[in-house]
Amino acid sequence: QKEVEQDPGPLSVPEGAIVSLNCTYSNSAFQYFMWYRQYSRKGPELLMYTYSSGNKEDGRFTAQVDKSSKYISLFIRDSQPSDSATYLCAVPTGANSKLTFGKGITLSVRP
In the complex, the residues that contact other proteins under the rule CB under 8 A are 32, 36, 41-46, 49, 51, 88, 90, 92, 94-104
Quick check: 38 and 98 in contact, CB under 8 A?
no
Query: Shortest distance, CB of residue 107 to other proteins, whole angstroms?
Result: 16
User: Closer CB to other proteins, residue 15 or residue 45?
Assistant: 45
Nearer to other proteins, 14 or 94 (CB): 94
**Residue 20 beta carbon to other proteins: minimum distance, rounded to whole angstroms:** 20
Whole-number Å distance between alpha carbons of 106 and 103: 10
**Cβ 62 to other proteins, closest distance in Å?**
19
Neighbours of 6 (CB within 10 A): 21
Is the Cβ of residue 52 or residue 80 nearer to other proteins in the bound state?
Answer: 52
The 3-state DSSP class for residue 92 equals strand
Q: How far is the C-alpha of 35 from the C-alpha of 46, rounded, in Å?
A: 6
